[in-house]
Amino acid sequence: MKTIETITLPAASPGTNRALTVIRYTSQGSTPGPKVYIQAGLHADEAPGYLVAHHLTTLLDQAEVKGEIVLVPAANPIGLSQWRDELLHGRFNFANSVNFNRSHLDLVEAVSRKVEGKLTDNPQENVTLIRSAFRECVAETSPIDEAESLKKLLLSMACDADIMLDLHCDHQALVHIYMGTPLWPAAQDLSAQMGADVTLLAENSGGNPFDEACSRIWWDLAAQFPDKPIPPACLSVTIELRGIADTDPEMVSNDARNIFNFLQRRGIVSGTAPELPPLKNKATPLTGVDYVKAPSPGIVSFIKQPGEWLRKGDIIAEIVTPLPAEGEETVVALRTQTDGLMFTRSFDRFARPGKILAKVAGKQPLRDDDENLLTL
Ligand SMILES: [Zn+2]
């Protein structure tokens, strides 16, 4: 059965209410099945996810769902309103400059207090208990503004899911996926089915993005209660669907088909999935990503592009300073610090010192686990 619900957010200014549309697919029978939550457009300026959600809806409309699939095809109506000078923004809240995919609710301590003394030696009972406590803790929060209310609403729908897929994209990029280290290699079928070139693992990336708000609670609670079995019960990931301009119909419909096939293989949608494609590359640590930063201001000419395997010291780009000071180099070479696969590069050709111009996935950690591992 398919239902469509529209939920109005509290107004940021009088007369400016925005609304969230939620599509739900549920099984006809009374047997409870797995719950899947999928959203697109949390960064409202990232176009491919909307199209993948659209194609996925078309596929799900004709499918038999076992359990529940909650699909939010445009997760950030606030960001979708951010037109300025012919450009849709949508990554940062104009009111406070907070990234819409950072600082989501961290309810580990609150859930921990609720489940303490009630956990058993049965992992499934613990999953049920924690999900119930997680739902209660989300419900008990009191957001004061529109963006915080949106974050609460999204988490209230995703916190008890077995699978959560958050659809994003980078500037110019290969398909890549962020997920919690404890989810690997059990989630290898997702990376393989999506054709992901890169899967990046971290237990705690430091910025509390939406996928970790759903997933990290499981391994944090497992660490707090080591004598009780607590599995990583939410396969929660951020899928980066290539670059911001990658909206070719064949590409996005194929991505939707891949998600559909993954759901079939996991038993949430009826039908037999085709043979799983081989995994392109093993997962690598998020700490191993070289965020290649501009050392000086200037204009960027890229030499390498996403998809190229690099050796440490390879030149990725040149930065030309059109107005060099006396004795200053006119052309500065930008090099990677790791052996690895270049998987993104900026669409911006203007450099300022410290700006990330490319990302290279390497196997060797370049930073400590406890650093903030995400970009702005
Ligand atoms: Zn994004």
* Ligand 1 center–CA 42 separation, angstroms: 7
Task: Identify the pLDDT of residue 367.
Answer: 87
* Ligand 1 center–CA 262 separation, angstroms: 22
Task: Identify the pLDDT of residue 370.
Answer: 72
d(CA 298, CA 350): 6
Q: Is 81 left (phi over 0), alpha (psi -120 to 50) or beta?
A: alpha
Task: Identify the pLDDT of residue 30.
Answer: 65
- Judge if the upstream peptide bond of residue 185 is cis by omega within 30 degrees of 0: yes
The two domains 2-282 and 286-362 share their CATH topology (first three levels equal)? no
Task: Identify the pLDDT of residue 328.
Answer: 85
Q: How many CB atoms lie within 10 A of CB 116?
A: 12
Q: Tens of pLDDT along 184-237?
A: 999 999 999 999 999 999 999 999 999 999 999 999 999 999 999 999 999 999
Structure tokens given for 93: 């809240």
d(CA 125, CA 131): 10
* Ligand 1 center–CA 119 separation, angstroms: 36
Q: Tens of pLDDT along 47-97?
A: 999 999 999 999 999 999 999 999 999 999 999 999 999 999 999 999 999
Q: Give the percent of the chain with pLDDT over 70.
A: 99
Q: Tens of pLDDT along 270-314?
A: 999 999 999 999 999 999 999 999 999 999 999 999 999 999 999
- Backbone phi and psi for residue 70, each to the nearest 5 degrees, phi listed first: -105, 120
Residues in a beta bridge with 345: 172, 358
Task: Identify the pLDDT of residue 94.
Answer: 96
Residues in a beta bridge with 170: 243
Helix (H) or strand (E) holding 54: helix 47-61
Pairing status of strand 340-345 against strand 289-293: unpaired
Q: Structural domain boundaries of the chain?
A: 2-282, 286-362
Ion ligand 1 residue ranges (Cβ < 5 Å): 43, 46, 168
CATH topology of domain 286-362: OB fold (Dihydrolipoamide Acetyltransferase, E2P) (2.40.50)
d(CA 355, CA 373): 15
* Ligand 1 center–CA 26 separation, angstroms: 28
The answer to whether the beta carbons of residues 193 and 257 sit under 8 Å apart is no
153: CB partners within 8 A, 6+ apart: 7, 9, 20
Q: Tens of pLDDT along 130-172?
A: 999 999 999 999 999 999 999 999 999 999 999 999 999 999 9
d(CA 64, CA 56): 13
Higher per-residue confidence, 369 vs 118: 118
Closest CA to 359 of 277, 253, 300, 288: 288
Task: Give the residue-averaged pLDDT of 111-130.
Answer: 98
Task: Identify the pLDDT of residue 241.
Answer: 98
Q: Tens of pLDDT along 247-274?
A: 999 999 999 999 999 999 999 999 999 9
Closest CA to 174 of 306, 303, 281, 310: 306
* Ligand 1 center–CA 229 separation, angstroms: 33
* Ligand 1 center–CA 233 separation, angstroms: 24
* Ligand 1 center–CA 243 separation, angstroms: 10
Task: Give the residue-averaged pLDDT of 306-330.
Answer: 94
Closest CA to 93 of 147, 155, 166: 147
Helix locations, 198-287, DSSP H: 210-224, 249-265
- Name the CATH superfamily housing domain 2-282: Zn peptidases (3.40.630.10)
* Ligand 1 center–CA 147 separation, angstroms: 16
Task: Identify the pLDDT of residue 29.
Answer: 75
The answer to whether the beta carbons of residues 216 and 204 sit under 8 Å apart is yes
* Ligand 1 center–CA 19 separation, angstroms: 20
Q: Which amino acid is at 315?
A: I
* Ligand 1 center–CA 309 separation, angstroms: 24
Pairing status of strand 68-72 against strand 35-40: parallel
